[in-house]
Amino acid sequence: MQAQEFHARAARVGFDWDNIQPVIDKIFEELEEVRSAPTPEEREKELGDLLFALVNFVRWYKVDAETALRTTNLRWRKRFSYLEHSARQQGRTLQEMTLPEMDVLWEEAKSLE
- Indicate the fold that domain 2-63 takes in CATH: Helix Hairpins (1.10.287)
Domain ranges within the chain, ordered by starting residue: 2-63, 68-111
Q: What is the DSSP letter of 90?
A: T
pLDDT tens for each residue of 41-91 = 999 999 999 999 999 999 999 999 999 999 999 999 999 999 999 999 999
CB atoms within 10 A of CB 56: 24
C-alpha–C-alpha distance, residues 100 and 106, integer Å: 10
| Predicted pLDDT of residue 82 | 98
Could you give the angle at which helices 40-60 and 65-89 cross, rounded to 10 degrees? 110
| Predicted pLDDT of residue 43 | 98
Note whether 92 and 30 are within 8 A (CB).
Answer: no
